[in-house]
Structure 1
Amino acid sequence: MKIAIGGNYKIACEAIDYLLEIGISKHDILVCTNKNDQEMDGWQPSLKKSAKRLNLQIVQLEELYDIEDLVFISLEFDQIIKTQKFNSSNLFNIHFSLLPLYKGVYTSCLPLLNGDKVSGVTLHKIDDGIDTGEILTQTSFPLPLDLNGYGLFTAYMNNAVNLFKSSIKNILSNNFTFKPQESVGSTYFSRKSLDFSNIKIDFRQSAYQVHNQIRAFSFRPFQLVKIDDFTVSHSVISENRSIVKPGQFAQISNSKRTYSTIDYDVYVYADRLNEILDAAKDNNLAFIQERHEEGFSFSEKNSQGWDALIVATYHNSIDVVKFLVDVKANLNSVNNNGTSVLMYAMTQAVTSNDFRSMEYLIKHGSKIDHCDYSGKSLLEYAEDHGNISVLNFLKNI
């Protein structure tokens, strides 16, 4: 049996890692990369780069057509699958929605725009329609009111990884049943559904709808919402009734405005990521606490993949580190190279001989066995560099 993974990003990279982990031979794994995969890690890891590191065979889609004992799994794949060209019928896809809802595109935007309370990921059979195949299994998760488009994409990715891992053995052993998608409740959206080149917030709606617009269109790797000259981080619905025309605003401060809608005012906050990262570097706990009270997300990252916890950890800003851990920042956040928070903590511990951040992070759930995108773990780095103090510290954890 040959197993082909087509796609990109974290889900595809972790899929090939997991196949090897469960004992699938490298000779039985084929990788089909997206056309835009430049073999460079960025805000998401590159499947092509990962496959080459693991010495897996990279093939073109056409090379899969004649393989009879093929299992093909599409994981954010960018090419259309025409089932009649395949000799195998074992063709699957993980789609980012709870099918039959949101077939097509923009699944990180539309559920938020529509005010959905839940979303999920679906493993389904590929047929000749667009995300219309029979369902094998699904998993759902809640959509909190402060979740934005980037956060939803991240939730999809994490849940898709888990769904793949929990389902792949059943797929390979042909131990599954299908459920046809229902027609009632089915929705589809094409690329023409939204125009991301011309995003304008419509304030002639309720505060809830305005808030949903702002968070739905907030996806930092690609865009943030702009209202006139104001680049927006996030919004919060106030308890104050609007008394002026929708769309009018009052400047509360350089970084905060209140906009009127058809019912309640909405607080709109300017993007302050750079200031947050500077405060994390300087151990400015008061500034970080103030931003937390205003609803700023500490999961947002700059172009290098650094978030507040990574920066605070690297600079040994122990007060900020503890606060961010306590408010549920991601203890296993990684930068664009897959370098984890704990790896940054190790770097500063070697320099300062201060292991407080490492100890606090491990105690609260940071993973020691995480591997970066080059395939190396914290322990391997410590051994390679002869960091005796780190090795001794880890022995006593």
Structure 2
Amino acid sequence: MIRRDINNLMKPLICIAGQNSIAVNGLRLVIERYPECRICYIPSNADKGLNHWQPSLIKKAKEWNVQKVDLEDIYHEEELIFISLQYSEIIKTRKFKSKHLYNLHFSKLPKYKGVYPAIHSIINGESEAGVTLHYIDDGIDTGDIIAQQVVNIEIDDTARDVYIKQSECAFKLFEIYLEHLIEGNCFTYPQPALGASYYSKTSINFSELHFDFNKTAFEIHNKFRALNFREYQMPVFSNWQILKTEILTEKSTQKAGALLEETEAYFVIATIDFDLKLTKDYYPALWLACEQGDVARFNHAVSFIDNLDLRNQHGWNALIIASYFGHVEIVQKLIEHNVNINMTNYKGTTVLMYALSYFEKTGNVAPFKLLIESKPDISLRDDFGKDIKDYIVEKSLNQLLSVIS
């Protein structure tokens, strides 16, 4: 239920519904520009109130003391301005008294209505993607268009790369048009029928990702990079995750799909036209070595790794993993490789906090002391507002206070 204030009843109610950075940044902008208005939010179902690779709208809204509501709470609001920023539910406009219902869709409509627009844009060989601000009607991303912007899709961009570009572009568009949305003076035009496309949730079965190599190198390259989104999935070939692909200059002379070469670093396969190089993804091997303390496997994997600070889908990187499992030799090697000693997971938990957990479990202080010698920032606070000293005191491990002083 919406909180009522007799002095604010005539002011618009601005509702931000959605998830991820676009919704968080959008809500922040509304608060900054319209503090006199009533403001509320509706999170997507996937938002559990904790940051992941994207920030949590629930978490930020709580920090800003913004009221959380359900759709049913706002249907009757005549002065409602509803803005969907990556909201996951279908909006039924007939239930709303207000007609000021807007959506920021991550495609250049009328193309790529529905879901996975970045993935489908890449698979289809597009050179640009876009974002569209439009009215919400009873269709799926079919409302009249208010404004659009485009972003380039480079030849090696992955779905993750395109999504980040779209998120940044979408917020810029939102900044420009927020005042028009609030005042209700948007110029619009209907979406054309020609060039339109739509993709449902069943358009991609992520549990069964198959590659048809009886295609051109360009088509196969596009499929691999379209499925490259480490937080969700990575493309696989011959039991290897594939980090990236490259279209070679050599024309294929063997049957499409033939394995022409395999080294420790890559595969080369034939296609309909040009050979294609598939680079093996050694990050899983690196992270497993850090977990198991396998120095030989670590040394081997490192030679194929560009960014040792890269985090896995859970937000852990090599140093976090090695510190949590107490593998001092690997921690030392990572420090020698100049990794970021102040790296955190998605919730702000520092490497030092993970080493503290290892000490708490085992009584072995070696990883903790080794990290301290590298002079990490001990003032860093996690999402719960605590630093390493707070946890030492909370866990009654006061013998470590002298180590960090």
| TM-score of the pair, normalised by structure 2 | 0.73
Identical aligned residues as a percent: 33
The residue type equivalent to 1:33 in the other structure is P
* Counterpart selection for 1:184 from 182, 194, 205: 194
**What is residue 159 of structure 2 aligned with on the other side?**
149
Letter in 2 for 1:114: N
Q: Which one of the candidate residues 69, 94, 104 is aligned to 2:104?
A: 94
Give the letter for the 2:260 counterpart: A
Structure 1 counterpart SS, 2:118: coil
The reply to whether residue 263 of structure 1 matches residue 270 of structure 2 is: no
1:178/1:216 Cα in 2 relative to 1: closer, same or farther (>3 Å)?
Answer: same
In structure 2, the residue matched to 1:5 is: 16
- Could you say which residue in structure 1 is the equivalent of 2:35? 24
CA offsets per residue over residues 333-360 of structure 1, 9 Å max, x none?
Answer: 98513699xxxxxxxxx967989x9xxx
Q: Which is greater in Rg?
A: 2
- Counterpart CA distance in 2 for 1:88 and 1:271 is 50
C-alpha distance in 2, partners of 1:29/1:185?
A: 37
Superposition deviation, residue 22 in structure 1: 2.1
5+ residue gaps, structure 2, are: 1-11, 291-297, 322-330, 351-370, 391-405
Q: For residues 118 and 51 of structure 2, what CA distance do their matches in structure 1 show? A: 21
- Mapped partners of 2:382, 2:141: distance in 1: 32
Distance (whole Å) between structure 1 residues aligned to residue 374 and residue 204 of structure 2: 52
Contact 1:6-1:72 at 8 Å conserved across structures: yes
Contact 1:98 1:138 in 2 (8 A): yes
Cα distance 1:124–1:338, how it changes in 2: closer, same or farther (>3 A)? farther
RMSD: 4.0
* Matches of 2:132 and 2:252, distance apart in 1: 41
Is the alpha carbon distance of 1:69 and 1:127 closer, same or farther for their aligned partners in structure 2, counting shifts above 3 Å? Answer: same
Q: Give the alignment of 1:1-397 within 5 angstroms.
A: 1-25=12-36, 28-273=38-283, 301-305=311-315, 335-337=345-347
- The answer for the alignment partner of 1:395 in structure 2 is none
Distance 1:336 1:273 in 2: 18
- After superposition, the C-alpha distances for 1:49-101 in whole angstroms (9 at most, x for unaligned) are 22122211111101110000110001111221111111100000000100111
**Residue 205 of structure 1: SS of its match in structure 2?**
coil
- Alignment partner of 1:71: what SS? strand
TM-score between both structures, scaled by the size of structure 1: 0.74
Shift in Å at residue 195 of structure 1?
Answer: 2.1
CA shift for structure 1 position 290: 7.2
Offset of 1:214 from its aligned partner? 0.4
Determine if contact 2:213/2:271 at 8 Å carries over to the other structure: yes
Deviations 1:87-118 (A, max 9, x none): 10000000010011101111121000011000
Aligned residues: 349
Structure 1: where are the runs of 5+ without partners? Answer: 323-332, 341-349, 358-370, 385-397
Shift of 1:162: 2.0
Within 1, Cα distance between the matches of 2:318 and 2:250?
A: 32
CA distance in 1, matches of 2:179, 2:308: 36
